Structure 1
Amino acid sequence: MTHTKAARLIPAGLLALSAVPVLAGAVRVAELTGGAAITADSARFHAGPVPVMLHIAGVTVYSVLGAFQFAPGFRRRRPAWHRAAGRLLVPCGLLAALTGVWMTLFSDLPAGHTGLLTAFRLAAGSAMAVCLALGLAAILRRDVARHRAWMIRAYALGMGAGTQAVLFSAWYAATGGDAHTVARALLHGLGWGINLTVAEWAIRGRSRRAARQPIGGADQPSGGARSSAADS
């Protein structure tokens, strides 16, 4: 498969992965607004529905719209759309990250969701917010390469739920039961770790291609120094 064909498949794959948090969020919204019975697992969401709803809204927009930012041909053909989407993605990503941190700190978490898992969630949410801030700061300096790198890392962290769902499905298929406390935490951490590893591989691959490309070549980033402050 050529690099161009592979690049076209990336947004489709990301959209498929984003279906997990989007559908889970839709189910949660239906529970909160439809008078569903309160269970031990859902009680914390009913006790503080505002950050939950904000988190779901942020994650939904960020994961779906963000997937199209990884379509290089689309970015080149519609740079104005890319910049406009970036202006929406940054606040939505920050909303998703910070509400996630808020819920981890202030929700009454059920048994099995504290300890190591809490540490992983706080680390991932905080790192995602930092990556978005650094990506925004980079584009304000017209540093497109660093901007893209930080935004790729932020999106990888934001898509952790999709990868974690795949890992939990594999765990259930292999063991026939739910993951215990430590395994649950490690599977969550592994999901973020896998995404960050793929992100770093993609960033370094882009850097190697850029280093081989002659100045003014076809792979020069679209928009260049003219990219807007919220280009992502």
Structure 2
Amino acid sequence: MRRTVGLWWVVLTAVGIAVYAPLPYLTETLRQLARTEVGIAANYVDQPGWAQAALYVHICFGALALLISPTQFVVRLRTRFPGFHRVCGRVAIVSMIVAGVAGLVMAPANMAGPVGTVGFGTLAVLWTTFAVAAYRAIRRGDVATHRRWATRAFALTYAAVMLRTWPLVLVPLQVAFGVDEVTAFDRSYLANSFLSWVPNLLLVEIMLRRIPRRAAHAANRAVNQEVAASVSGSPGPSR
């Protein structure tokens, strides 16, 4: 029960942020957003064109990856519509790689200074690396390994949600101890360069370690049989 609730929470928050977060950047200019202090627009409004372009690429492709990725974890979709799963998987992986590269380009211009450059830069490198590893694993037919790398990649994709969630906790907590809101936000953003993704990745690693290797290999064989059956048109293994 808790696992189902947790899954739905992740899905709904991922979809919500994927739809909501890019909208201001797609409907107004950076100058307009900076005047109303929306998101991180003020930090990029006077940046060079390449940094602004990287911002928009990161936002759009990151949102696409966040929107599509939850569908990859729905077992019924994977088994009943393998073609849909494959197409969505390709789009998600390409989106992660493009957004990750753009995030790496953006890292030196972030709001958190050198700490943010290291934090967000590391996130970008790992995000891209995990997505590539997931793609390479499925290309060689190793479904179990593909799922493990894809899960890690989604944990980093979900950083977009946690980046907006942690300030809801950290800012009021600091204000309660007498810190002004501007300083509290700056401090929370500094911490967020690591908090937005490190706990996600640690949690996923704990979950993956609990999955017995034998079960993973059994799932790998079963999925390979299903894929072979779908390609040949013959019935899959009996249930």
Cα distance, 1:119–1:140 mapped onto 2, change above 3 Å = same
Q: Structure 1 residues 84 and 194, CA, compared in 2 at 3 Å: closer, same or farther?
A: same
Deviations 1:124-168 (A, max 9, x none): 000011111111111122111111111111111111121122111
Letter in 1 for 2:73: F
* Cα shift readout 1:161-215 (whole Å, capped 9, x = no counterpart): 211221110012212224365553223312211110222133223x32x635895
Flag the structure with more relative contact order, 1 or 2, with Cα contacts below 8 A and sequence separation at least 6.
Answer: 1
Partner of 2:235: none
Equivalent position of 1:31 in the other structure? 28
Distance 2:186 2:82 in 1: 46
User: Corresponding residue for 1:211?
Assistant: 214
> Conserved in 2, the CA contact under 8 Å of 1:51 and 1:99?
yes
- Taking only aligned residues, the RMSD between alpha carbons, in angstroms, comes to 3.0
Which residue type is aligned with residue 80 of structure 1?
A: G
**Offset of 1:52 from its aligned partner?**
2.2
> Number of aligned pairs?
215
Deviates more, 1:75-84 or 1:171-180: 171-180
Question: Residue 117 of structure 2 aligns with which residue?
Answer: 118
Q: Which runs of 5+ in 2 are unaligned?
A: 36-41, 176-180, 229-239
Give the conservation status (yes or no) of the 8 Å contact 1:10–1:71.
no
2:104 equivalent among 96, 101, 106: 101
1:199 maps to 204
* Normalised TM-score (structure 2): 0.77
CA–CA distance in structure 2, aligned partners of residues 124 and 213 of structure 1: 27
Q: Distance in 2 between matches of 1:69 and 1:10?
A: 12
Q: Classify the secondary structure of the residue corresponding to 1:65.
A: helix
Contact 1:66 1:155 in 2 (8 A): yes
- Structure 1, unmatched stretches of 5+, are none
| Structure having the higher Rg | 2
| 1:19 is the counterpart of 2:16 | yes
Give the letter aligned to residue 198 of structure 2.
Answer: G
Distance 1:186 1:14 in 2: 25
| 1:53 lines up with 2:56 in the alignment | yes
- The one of 39, 42, 45 equivalent to 1:43 is 45
Please give the TM-score of this superposition, normalised by the length of structure 1. 0.79
Would you say the 8 A contact 1:58–1:93 is kept in 2? yes
Q: Per-residue displacement from partner, 1:50-95 (whole Å, max 9, x unpaired)?
A: 2222222211210011011111222112111111111211111111
| Aligned-residue offset at 1:222 | 5.6
- 1:92 to 1:131, Cα distance in 2 relative to 1, 3 A: same
* Whole-Å separation in 2 of the counterparts to 1:71 and 1:47: 39
Alignment partners' CA distance in 2, 1:8 and 1:171:
25
Displacement, 1:19? 2.3
d(CA) in 2 for partners of 1:226, 1:142: 12
Q: Give deviations 1:5-25, integer Å, cap 9, x for gaps.
A: x34761552331342354222
**Residue of structure 1 equivalent to 2:178:** none
Question: Structure 1 vs Structure 2: percent identity of aligned residues?
Answer: 20
Quote the residue 1:224 is aligned against: 224
